[in-house]
Amino acid sequence: MDERVQALIQANATDIEGLPLAYSSRVAKLVSSAVASGMDRVTLVSDLNKGLGISLRKARNIARDQTNKATQALAQVEDEEIGFTEGTWIHVPGRKTSRKTHIKMDGKRFNLKEGLYDSEVKRNVTPGSLWLCACTYRPVVPDSWKVN
């Protein structure tokens, strides 16, 4: 995997709410291994639950959040390598609620490296970067690639 994706996985594991810092590197290793090997989310949940003693509910949330983040990071790295620089935000509703700011972002263009400003967290974010966010994006084809 790309070094940037590995770094993002480590950073994301460190930001998990309610997770002792001592567990974050172990979570990052499990997530990295799962992503690199194409492991299914159910197995990752089991590894988090049994291997680290994390409750089943928390393990499910961590697995869902971290695999979504890793998937988004991989997609962004691949899109940037191809030459895409912008995306169109796609809001994916949450299971119980949706962030109002992300609903407003739906359909908006943004720079892949910068993201969009989220007034709820008072900083720029990219799709899927916040806890349990399932938003994604569609790459925008640059005008220079279009045939006249």
What pLDDT is attached to residue 148? 67
Q: What is the mean pLDDT of residues 5-26?
A: 77
The string of pLDDT tens digits covering residues 36-71 is 788 888 999 999 999 888 899 999 999 999 888 888
State the chain's mean pLDDT as an integer. 88
Residue 110: C-alpha distances to residues 78, 105, 124, 125 (Å): 17, 9, 10, 10
Q: Would you kindly state where each structural domain of the chain is located, as residue ranges?
A: 3-78, 84-145
Backbone φ and ψ of 117, nearest 5°: -75, 130
Rounded Cα gap, residues 15 and 81, in angstroms: 27
d(CA 101, CA 49): 32
Indicate the pTM of the whole model. 0.82
Residue 2 is predicted with a pLDDT of 67
Beta bridge partners of 86: 111
pLDDT, one tens digit per residue, over 61-97 is 999 998 888 888 889 989 999 999 999 999 999 877 8
pLDDT value of position 106: 98
Once rounded to an integer, what is the mean pLDDT over residues 26-45?
A: 86
The closest alpha carbon to 34, from 76, 58, 75, 62, belongs to: 62
